[in-house]
Structures are given as structure tokens and as C-alpha cells.
Chain A
Amino acid sequence: MLMLMRLSFIARAVGHSTRISAARPCSLRALSTSTRVTTENTAAATTDRTSRPFRVAVIGSGPGGFYTAHRILKHVPQATVDMFEALPVPHGLVRFGVAPDHPEVKNVINTFDEVAENPNFTFIGNTTVGTFVTPGSRKANLEIADLRPHYDAVLLAYGAHEDRILGVSNEEKLKGVMAARSFVGFYNGLPSEQDLPVDLSRSDTAVVIGQGNVALDVARILLTPLEELKKTDLTEKTVKILEKSAVKHVYVIGRRGPLEVAFTAKELREMLQLPNTTFRMDEKLLASEMERAGKSLDRPRKRLMGLLEKGIKESKPDQPKSWTLMFLRSPLGFHGNDQHELESIQLGINRLEGDAKSRKAILTEQQENLKCGLAFRSIGYKSIGIHGVPFDERKGIVPNMDGKVMDKDQNIIPGLYASGWLKRGPIGVIATTMADAYQTADTIIADWTRGEPMLNTNKETPKAGGKAILEKLSAQGHKTVSYQDWKKIEQKEFELGARVGKPREKFLTVEEMLKVLD
């Protein structure tokens, strides 16, 4: 800290033209910001926090957890971060969500690896913290209460790993109807989804309900030539299933209109570039909606609508495959045959009502039936509460103010923080999650520097951090996974992948992952 104080002195002495820089970009802002915090908050000097370690536990190793850890380690030299991850493997949806044909998105892992190399960072994989409130949930390895005595701050960043349901008939009963989340988890090798019954050979028509980027990911995986996908880290198990796929036509169905689609331009462009695939949508509807919106559209929306127009114009008719955007349709129920296999979806036709910025879909009397053998519900992910932590069921988030967790009476809970999808809901690309994680990190850093109460009082003896926890787990015979361990697992995945010309071949079960470490 002395070091920082000296820097801040230099900064002031030389005024605006001083550039405080670091040997490496990562530590650059660390220093300048720490400086700022120090000069702004004289209180910092009066607490004992400058001289002792700042112990942070992070629950979840997705972008929400990693980017928050990154920023804290950067700005608080004496911080130590222990990151708990339920699975033996890190990175959350970057590994188990991001599509296999988007490897460039996964470059963020390089930054996460850098964070993990920090000597003040410890990854504790294969360790669930907090039992979920859903009845029947498996008991966690540790509860939040177990962490409390050992840390100054606990960050909740465990994401959203369930999905929203439509609440219509037969949604969870018929073969062929599944959550897009489950299918995504399946093709990306998420251990908990490997028993999903996926049969793509029964029907040539699949329906995806919802018009977000996840919906387009699913549609793209179903329609991309297999030769292309074989070069990605799509699991071999999925490749085998896709080899037998009969799917030729995919309907992507929205309850509102083209102006309300949730997918973004890059993903739409990829869909429009699929080889041998006709694109269809209601051209008249698009024209009338665009006319209605007039000049009110912002740039991203205008470009998106332009891309749809272009897509219609340039689409080659009668290709062997097709994909169709359908609008103003809400599923009313799923129909099956005697073998409980999906046969068709009953759709209600909607009209739109309300303010242009937030139009609502209202069912009309009209209905139609769409024949299909596969249906993917892609209407959003959902977070679940864990015992001992406030949770807003309606919003599906941990209630918080700039990342500081609050109880139901809006009182701040000292030392408890949230970031990522758990903090703001299951929306946003990695860039959004990153910005949000940085905000939470700034809140944590400010609280620490200002001497705000955390999971301790300043008079207590400093916390011991993860050492005690690791000892406890090991005494119970529980196997934890370190980042070095993960790197061994990853190395093995690279080797297995190289044999078949893929960037990696993922292990599909926790047992297989752990076996590498024996």
C-alpha cells in the first residue's frame, strides 16, 4: 500500500501529464485506479485493511466470476481469490454454451488462464457451494455458511442453469420436445445433459420456439453441413447423432414481430449464409412493420431489418434445406402419437398491442397446426436460488445494488456480492457480462478500501481463506481440482481432439475428467 501511496503522490505532483504505466497492460489500470481510490478515500489509511490479505471467495468460474476476479486481483495487490466451481472444468458457458463453430469467442479463455496464473488465485474445481432451493436438489459440498468464517467477501457468480418453460400441454412429456438449453449442453459436452434422448432421425422438420441467439445457435447446428462441424470441438457423440439426422427444415418461431427479434446481426448473417438452404419469412409483414417503425429504429435494429430484407431478396428458392422465421405465433400445446412422440405443435396467432417499445403479444381466436418431429424450447435460461442467500423469484436474480446483495427489505448484506447472469438475469453476451462483472468488482474494491463492513469486523483477526476449507474437504475424502489439474485434463482433450482433426475432444462425464488425474 505504501507503494501505492507513493505512486499517488507522484501522480499528483506531476499533474495531468503523468502517465502511470505498468510493465504489462493488465496491471496498468490496477495501479492507476488503486491510486485514485487511495487518494479519494483517506478512510482507507485508518483501517487495518491495507496491510493484511483481502480474502475473496468466488462461486462459479464463468465470465462473471473470472472477470470480477481479474479486476479485483488487478486493483488490490493484497487480494487473494479462491474460485469454487461445481464441475472439474472451468469457464461456464464459454465451454458449455458458446457454439462449437464460434471458436473465436472462446479466446476469452486466454484472459482467464492469465488470471489463474496469478499466485494469489486458487481454483477449487469439482466443488459445489450452496444447495439449490429446488426440492430434491443434491446437497452441495459446501454451504455459504461454511465459507463465511474464512473470507472477507463472497461473490455469487453461479449463473443460470435451468430454463424457462412455456407452461403448455405435453411440453415435458413427449419425446422430441426439449429445452434448447439441454440440447446445447448435450452437444457441448455438459456432463449433466449427456443422458438427454436426442433422436434427429425421425422427422425432417424441427421447430425452435423463441427468437434469441440461442435459438439461432440450435438452428445453425441442425442445418450446418456436418463436414464443417466435424472440424470444431462439437462432441463426437453429437457428430454421430447428426450423421443420422433427417432434419432439413427448421422453423424459428417468435410470439411477436420482426421488430422484436432478440437475435443479433452476426448470428442472423451466419444463418443467411448457410449453403443449400432457402430462407423464408413473411415479406409483407416485414415491410409493414418497417414502415410502421419509420425513422424511430436505432442503428442496430435498422441494420438487422435491412439484413432480413436482403435475406429475403437473395434467398435461393427450392434448396434442399430451409429455415423459416415465423412471427406472431405462440405455442398452445404439443400433440403426440401413441408412442408419445411429437407429431405437431398447436400455435395460436397473435396480434401486437401497446407502446412501440414494449409491444405485447395478444392471442387472437385464430390457430394453426404445424407438423414437426422435434421442438426446442428456447425462451431463456433461468437462475435458481441457493439456501442462505436472498433470491428474487420473480426476476430470477439475486437482488442487488451494483452487485451488493440485498435482503428482501432492501438492506445490504455486508460482504456478499453477485455478478454475471445471476446478478442481472440470463441476458447479455460475454462483453455485457464483463462490463457488469467489472462494476461488481469496483463495488467490492470500493467497499474494501473504504473500510465498509464485510464478512468480518475490522477488529477481527484476518481470515485464513481456502486453506482451512481445502483441509476440511480433503478430510471428507472429497477430491478437488486445481487449475493445474484442469490444464492436465485440457491437455488430454487436446490430444484426443488432435487424433481426429478437432481442436479438442471433450470428456463427457465427471468420472472421465477426474480419471485423467489419477
Chain B
Amino acid sequence: MAAFIATSARSVLTKAASFTPRLSSAFRSGSASWTQISTSGSSHFVPKTARFSTASGILYTKKGRPGPGQGFQVNFVMQDGEEITVQAHEGESLLDVAWANDIDIEGACEASLACSTCHLILDESSYSKLEEPTDEENDMLDLAFGLTDTSRLGCQVLMNKELDGIVARLPSVTRNAQQ
């Protein structure tokens, strides 16, 4: 899988923020401060720290987040096939990492093992490095859409060195609703 750096066009969202609900929960702590800089004529906000650029010229990273080469790499594959590579701190859950990087994964019960909406499908090698899911996690996985042999709940997988480079795919939500 081609790894690449997450980029963002943030400035355009300042307006959009008016239709964006607040982020109350601690889990959605995307607290970032952004610096506006100019690229190819249009302006974008980027954070004051650890900025980096890509071929597209759009800059992005977040204050308090590990930059490329720091932390551990997580590769999310979205439902439409889009791949997003971000960096994780040690001990962060995949759901935390996703939320901290504005990757829209559901987490309806806010990591309390009561919803299965944070279901992710992992690459086999990373999956095999993890400890077995607990009974409680398996109970919830049983309700997940499109369960596979390498499915885990994103709120239960904690990042560490061994998982550096993990690939986590969002399942495509089908209408074959479960119980």
C-alpha cells in the first residue's frame, strides 16, 4: 500500500464550522491551533508546529500530534478506498487516532464497548500481533456490519511500536442490518 501524508484544505472550513456541532466529548479532542499560510494563491490554515508539505502544496498537521517519522504510523482505508496515513502516539486507540486527525469513524458509545460502530478491519499481520479480543469486545463485534476474521473494534486497539504501519480499513456499511 502506498503510504502518503495526510493533507488538508482547512481554511475553507471556517465557514462550514457554523454547521458543525460542537465537540464536547474528550474523545474528540482535536484541539488544534491553525496558522494561515498561502499556497498557490489560495490560503489555508496550518498549525504552528510540525508543518510539512506534499506535492499538492497543501499543508497540514496538527499541534500536539506526532509529525511524519515521529510516533507510529496508522494507515486508514476509507469506505471509498481513499487511503489516509497519520501518526499515532503510544497507547492511543485507533478511534482516538482517527478522531484526533479528523477521520470520521463512528464511535457512538464513546469507547465504552456498547455499540460496535467503531469496527475496523485490520491487516493480517497487525491483527496477529494483537492479544485476543476480550469476550466483551467479541460480543460487540458479533453485531458489527461486515465482520471479518481480522475485525476489531477501533476503540479497543491501542497503538504501540509493534503495530507501526498498521492498516485499518473501514467496513463498507451494508443494509444487511443485524439484530
Chain A contacts to B: CB under 8 angstroms: 3, 6-7, 10, 13-31, 36, 70, 73-74, 77, 79, 102, 104-105, 107-108, 110-111, 113-120, 213, 262, 264-266, 269, 299-300, 303-304, 424, 427-432, 434-436, 438-439
Name A's interface SS.
helix
* Interface residues in B, total, Cβ within 8 A: 68
Give the residue name and chain of the B residue nearest to A75 (CB): B19
B108 engages A107 (CB within 8 Å): yes
Taking A105-B115, A264-B143 as known contacts, 10 extra A-B pairs with beta carbons closer than 8 A to each other, sorted by chain A number, are A21-B60, A22-B20, A28-B102, A107-B110, A117-B22, A118-B20, A264-B142, A303-B138, A431-B106, A438-B173
Q: Contact between B23 and A14 (Cβ–Cβ < 8 Å)? A: no
- For the residues of B in contact with A, the DSSP-based class is loop
Inter-chain contact B113/A104, CB cutoff 8 Å: yes
Measured in the bound complex, the distance between the Cα atoms of B34 and A23 in whole Å is: 9
B117 to A299, Cβ gap below 8 A?
no
Give CA–CA (A17, B85) in the complex, Å.
10
CA distance A258 to B91 in the complex (A): 41
Our pick among A108, A120, A269, A429 for the contact of B179 (Cβ within 8 Å) is A429
Which residues of the partner chain A approach B138 to less than 8 Å between Cβ atoms?
Answer: 265, 303
Q: Mark B62-94, 1 if CB is under 8 A from A, else 0.
A: 000000000000000000101110000000000
A420 → chain B closest CB, angstroms = 12
Residues of B within 8 A of A (CB): 4-10, 12-25, 28, 30, 32, 34, 42, 45, 54-58, 60, 80, 82-84, 98-99, 101-104, 106, 108-110, 112-117, 135-136, 138-140, 142-145, 147, 173, 175, 177-179
Contact residues in A for B139 (Cβ distance below 8 Å): 264-266, 269, 303
Task: Give 11 pairs: A residue, B residue, CB < 8 Å, sorted on A.
Answer: A21-B10, A25-B98, A73-B19, A105-B109, A111-B108, A114-B21, A117-B22, A264-B142, A266-B114, A428-B179, A429-B178
Highest count of chain B CB atoms <10 Å: which of A15, A27, A269: A27
Contacts of B23 in A (CB 8 A): 24-26, 114
The reply to whether B143 and A429 form a contact with Cβ atoms under 8 Å apart is: yes
Q: What are the residues of chain B within 8 A of A14 when measuring CB–CB?
A: 7, 55-58
| Chain B residues within an 8 Å CB radius of A18 | 7, 9, 56, 58
Q: Which of B58, B108, B110, B112 has the most CB of A within 10 A?
A: B108
Q: Are A27 and B145 in contact (CB under 8 A)?
A: no
- In whole angstroms, how far apart are the Cα atoms of A446 and B114 in the complex? 31
CB neighbours (8 Å) of B112 from chain A are 104, 107
Q: Does the CB pair B179–A427 fall under 8 Å?
A: yes
Q: How far is the CB of A268 from chain B (nearest CB, A)?
A: 9
Give min CB distance, B155 to chain A, whole Å.
11
Contact B8 A19 (CB under 8 A): yes
Q: Does A20 contact B21, Cβ atoms closer than 8 Å?
A: no
A189 CB, min distance to chain B CBs, angstroms: 21
